[in-house]
Amino acid sequence: MSSDYGLPLPENPVIVGFGGVGIDLLAIVGSFPKPDTKNRTTQLKVQGGGNTGNALTCAARLGLKPRIISKVANDVHGKTLIEELQAEGVDTSSFVVSKEGTTPFSYIIIDSETKTRTCIFTEGYPPMVPEDLSHSRLLAALNGARLAYFDVRMPEIALVIAQEAFRQNISILVDAERPREGLNDLLDLADYVVCSENFPKAWTETSTIPRALVSIMLRLPRLKFVIATLGKDGCIMLEKCEDEDGSHLKEVDVDNTMKSLTMTKDDTVVMPTCTASCVTKLIAEGIGCVCGRLYFGTSENIPRSELIDTTGAGDAFVGAVLYAICAKLSPEKMLPFASHVAAVKCRSLGARSGLPYRTHPSFAFLGI
């Protein structure tokens, strides 16, 4: 394998992200402590965190040029956070820094026995308000951007930024972790949605994830695709096919289609894979139908001895999707790539330590 391999650099690598940043205080323990007991850490690490900070750091390492809009305080944590992002190549010139207050932070307890992590989040103060971001500063941040990312924190300001991005024909990706205040307004402007496993059924009140994805696509007609991440069980993606009139296509039940795709999974394959349906009319009875393709992506089979910490795995997946959109990767390449990026991250402590760079040798085997 050539030592100078690197992911292709997109024609326009500039993206903008708005949302949560903070400092993560990560402690590995032998087992999760019981109430009213004491425990010792086996490893401790302090590093930058937050969905937006993590996703954009991942995107920067993969070759994009991210700009971040968020707020921290002028304290030790705030200074450390900004320095870390700048060192990764993330443009922090649109950061708001308050003279007083505290920067957001999280206590994260990683259980070595169960391979789980528990987060305790403390909000920063003072909160970011619309007056913190002037229109000229916003225009500068969005200038020339290919894509805008939102994690749905600080929804009032997020909507102002998203509306301006929409006016400038900048594509919008929304990371829908769970239902939040202001989420629906952002989703109405979204071109792409990546959501957690529990979100689709909770937001649509449907019985299965495939049916929920059909409902999401019908409720949000601007969407090009929606992805639901399933942790160790992989991911599901529904892609709309704009150019098909659908008149000659067969109607198929979306749940049955999903079952047929998952039956192709081979547990002996270590690297992530992707299988897809034909372009068809995907029916969710009682909801409607979408002309498109359904994809099932497997997760990487990480040996238990190599699995260190799942903190930020979802952010790594999103960061890889941001790259894939800018690089115009097909879904068949995007889903295994994003799953592999998340898996590489899980082999190190914290959300950022293990994020791969664009020269990571394993990317060549994915055929990107």
pTM (2 decimals)? Answer: 0.94
pLDDT band of residue 365 (cuts 50, 70, 90) is: confident
Does the pLDDT at position 258 exceed 90? yes
Which pLDDT belongs to residue 245? 62
Output the average pLDDT for the chain.
Answer: 94
What the chain holds in terms of domains, given with CATH numbers, is: 14-32+40-366 (3.40.1190.20)
Which pLDDT belongs to residue 283? 96
Which pLDDT belongs to residue 244? 56
| pLDDT digits 0-9 by tens, 45-84 | 999 999 999 999 999 999 999 999 999 999 999 999 999 9
What is the Cα–Cα distance from 354 to 315, expressed in whole angstroms? 12
Whether omega before 210 lies within 30 degrees of 0, making that bond cis, reads no
Specify which of 5-14, 237-246, 336-345 reaches the highest per-range mean pLDDT: 336-345
Neighbours of 42 (CB within 10 A): 11
Closest among 345, 364, 363, 343 to 354, alpha carbons compared = 345
Does the pLDDT at position 243 exceed 70? no
Quick one: average pLDDT of 180-185?
94
DSSP lists the bridge partners of residue 121 as 106
| pLDDT digits 0-9 by tens, 259-309 | 999 998 888 888 999 999 999 999 999 999 999 999 999 999 999 999 999
Does the pLDDT at position 3 exceed 60? no
Which pLDDT belongs to residue 366? 84
Which pLDDT belongs to residue 105? 95
Does the pLDDT at position 241 exceed 70? yes
3-class SS string, 150-198: ECCCCHHHHHHHHHHHHHCCCEEEEEECCCCCCHHHHHCCCCEEEECCC
Which pLDDT belongs to residue 2? 42
pLDDT band of residue 246 (cuts 50, 70, 90) is: low
Neighbour-count burial of 334, counting CB atoms closer than 10 A to its CB (0-12 exposed, 13-18 middle, 19+ buried)? buried
Which pLDDT belongs to residue 367? 82
- Between 266 and 24, whose confidence is greater? 24
- Between 112 and 2, whose confidence is greater? 112
| pLDDT digits 0-9 by tens, 116-146 | 999 999 999 999 999 999 999 999 999 999 9
Which pLDDT belongs to residue 266? 85
pLDDT band of residue 234 (cuts 50, 70, 90) is: very high
